[in-house]
Structure 1
Amino acid sequence: ALVTGCAKGIGNWTAQALAKAGADTVINYKTSQKEALKLSESIQKMGRKTLVIKADVTKPNEVQKLFKQAEKRFGKVDILVNNVGNFIIKSIYHTTYNEWKDIIETNLTSVFLCSKAALPKMRERKWGRIINMTVATVDKQAAAPKVAHYTAAKTGVLILTKSLAAEEVKNGITVNSVGPGIVDTGIMSEAEKKDLIRLCPKGRFAKPEEIARVILFLASPESDYITGANIPVGGGWGL
């Protein structure tokens, strides 16, 4: 299994869940080396093999190197979790071009690049799992003040997921997405947290491990008949 941007947060929990289920894991990070190495140590204690690779998955050449190294070590990447993402809270008026570009490339372009790199080996084996990350309300998206850049990217991920699922179903590859609810990433003010909590009927933020469990299901043989789906894990957000 290869999980992008998995040194922290949802990706970290996902890598651990996959390892507990028996998967050897490629741990990708961009800047959080210390956390990535700690995760690797934790997974190795479970008796699984790991490979820690620094790569910016918005760059085509770095993605190619990432997959070449992964395939050299493990022979294949049959489970890909496109987890990497970033997020800012800014109006369109105040968003710079570079901020816009960074959000789109990190959340959307990386999914295209990594999925494309994973497909050849998956097609060879006639089996593969690609799991992408959206948001819980992505299929009901209306106006998104101060997060237009992020929701534009995640809506793109939803359509990419469905399109790739349709293209690859004949090759034994399933492509699905998980839509996390509101997760406290540490960048929100207390006032913003209170505003967001009111949107969620469950009355709390999502826990990373709750999202990881759904990703694990989509990576498993039990999900074989599911493809092109987006599963919201949002505590009722958007109902």
Structure 2
Amino acid sequence: MERVAIVTGASRGIGRAIATTLAAAGQAVVVGYGGSEKSAHEVVEKITADGGRAIAVQADVADEQAVAALFDAATEAFGGVDVVVNAAGKMVLSPIADLDLDALDDMHRTNIRGTFVVAREAARRVRDGGAIVTFSTSVVGLRFPSYGGYVASKGAVEALTLILAREMRGRQITVNAVAPGPTATDLFLNGKDEATIEHLAKQPPLERLGQPEDIARVVAFLAGPEGHWVNGQVIRANGGIV
């Protein structure tokens, strides 16, 4: 039976790579997006041109009605949901002393509430034997200055992910978090000068930034039968940076 995946934040960056990678593995994909309608439809066009099946659906991940409608669209188009990957996220960098609280609230609405809303709907509607993947960050352990507000949100994601894995007992549903290190996406590169980027690229023993496809392959493993024995884990996909 064809597996069906919902990927939020799938119009660009890591989410886009995940959507196309899961489609290449034979899964029908719902390309969830926030505001980048044109980019989301480009992802769908790429997947269908390569012989896959996909639709694009707009949803604010922090809006429970929109997320329910996202799952409804997946069920209507493809018959159900087996895999949910919540790659939608926001990142605002600032020293804790200077971080605007409105910006903090907006970031946490997407990263914490959004993850919780998507996870809650997934827990209710993913078919037995499926997989749920959330997104954290390796900076939870690396503790880079200026990432305090962002890491606070991702620490919450890790905690709720590990609890949800235990709450899925008896349904053969895996729940894991992927925590990328520095990855060459617009979200990461924005606002950084070349010297900073080069410094970060030299930190892992592999001496490069991650690419979206590196992270997508980890997600595809967790979302497929090969990764089904991995459950209740935070996978730090970062090239060995410490």
The percentage of counterpart residues that share the same residue type is: 35
CA-atom RMSD in angstroms: 1.6
C-alpha separation between the residues in 2 aligned to 1:218 and 1:110?
21
**Cα deviation, residue 205, structure 1:** 0.8
Task: Tell me, yes or no, if structure 1 residue 214 matches structure 2 residue 231.
Answer: no
Partner of 2:130: 128
Q: Which of residues 59, 62, 81 is equivalent to 2:63?
A: 59
Deviation by residue 1:82-119 (Cα, 9 ceiling, x = unmatched): 10112122112221122101221222221111111122
What residue identity is the alignment partner of 2:129? W
Deviation by residue 1:5-54 (Cα, 9 ceiling, x = unmatched): 11111111110110011011100111111111111011112222211111
TM-score by length of 1: 0.92
Q: Is the 8 A contact 2:176 2:234 kept in 1?
A: yes
**Cα deviation, residue 191, structure 1:** 3.8
**Cα deviation, residue 137, structure 1:** 4.7
Deviation by residue 1:33-78 (Cα, 9 ceiling, x = unmatched): 1111111011112222211111111112211221122222222111
Kindly report structure 1 stretches of 4+ aligned residues shifted beyond 6 Å.
none
Partner of 1:86: 90
Q: Is the 8 A contact 2:139 2:151 kept in 1?
A: no
Task: Tell me, yes or no, if structure 1 residue 96 matches structure 2 residue 100.
Answer: yes
Q: What SS does the corresponding residue of 2:179 show, helix, strand or coil?
A: strand
Q: Is the 8 A contact 1:6 1:36 kept in 2?
A: yes
TM-score by length of 2: 0.91
Q: What SS does the corresponding residue of 2:61 show, helix, strand or coil?
A: coil
Task: Tell me, yes or no, if structure 1 residue 181 matches structure 2 residue 185.
Answer: no
Partner of 1:75: 79
Partner of 1:164: 164
What residue identity is the alignment partner of 1:83? A
Task: Tell me, yes or no, if structure 1 residue 235 matches structure 2 residue 239.
Answer: yes
What residue identity is the alignment partner of 2:67? V
C-alpha separation between the residues in 1 aligned to 2:118 and 2:10?
14
Q: What SS does the corresponding residue of 1:132 show, helix, strand or coil?
A: strand
